[in-house]
Amino acid sequence: MGLFLRWLFAFLLLALTYNPTPWNYVRWVAEHYHQYLSVAVFLGLVLMIGYIIYLRATLRSIGGFGMGLILALVMTLLWVLYDFGLLSLDNADQNTWLGILAMSVVLGIGLSWSHVRRRLSGQADIDDVDED
């Protein structure tokens, strides 16, 4: 359940930032920043905090190579679905949602990797703490 929730929050973070519907931060700011600049800055900072949490945890747990590997795995799965005729890539909006889905899988796995690794190997990941 924890892995699913971490992925769901990553998906929501990405989808709230940008998606093909009119309901996203980027379009809202483009249309209303002059009226609601303080709200736009506040919401932008909230989204930035979310990205910092996810990206920092993901980079610390799986690194850039791991991020690329997971993204390649998701993209290859989409390629297989396309080759078998189960997925059409003609719709630009659908492709945007697929990109959001792919990136959210990377961030969700990155945030959850320490928990998954601990369950698989029995070893906990810990940060180095400097003791003076």
**In what helix (H) or strand (E) does residue 128 lie, and over which residues does it extend?**
none
Read off the tokens for 66: 């791991």
With contact defined as beta carbons under 8 Å apart, do 61 and 110 qualify?
A: yes
Does 130 have pLDDT greater than 90?
no
- The predicted-structure confidence for 44-64, as pLDDT tens digits, reads as follows 999 999 999 999 999 999 999
Residue 120 has a pLDDT of 82
Residue 128 placed within a domain: no
Residue 129 placed within a domain: no
- Shortest CA distance to 50 belongs to which of 25, 33, 71? 25
Residue 75 placed within a domain: yes
- The predicted-structure confidence for 99-127, as pLDDT tens digits, reads as follows 999 999 999 999 998 877 777 887 766 66
- Region 74-94 average pLDDT: 97
Residue 70 placed within a domain: yes
CA separation, residue 75 to residues 9, 54, 70, 103 (Å): 21, 20, 9, 10
Does 8 have pLDDT greater than 90?
yes
Q: What is the pTM of this model?
A: 0.86
Number of domains in the chain: 1
Residue 131 placed within a domain: no
Does 23 have pLDDT greater than 80?
yes
Residue 117 has a pLDDT of 78
Domain that residue 104 falls in: 2-121
With contact defined as beta carbons under 8 Å apart, do 62 and 109 qualify?
A: yes
Vertex 38 angle, CA 37 and 44, to 5° = 85
Residue 87 placed within a domain: yes
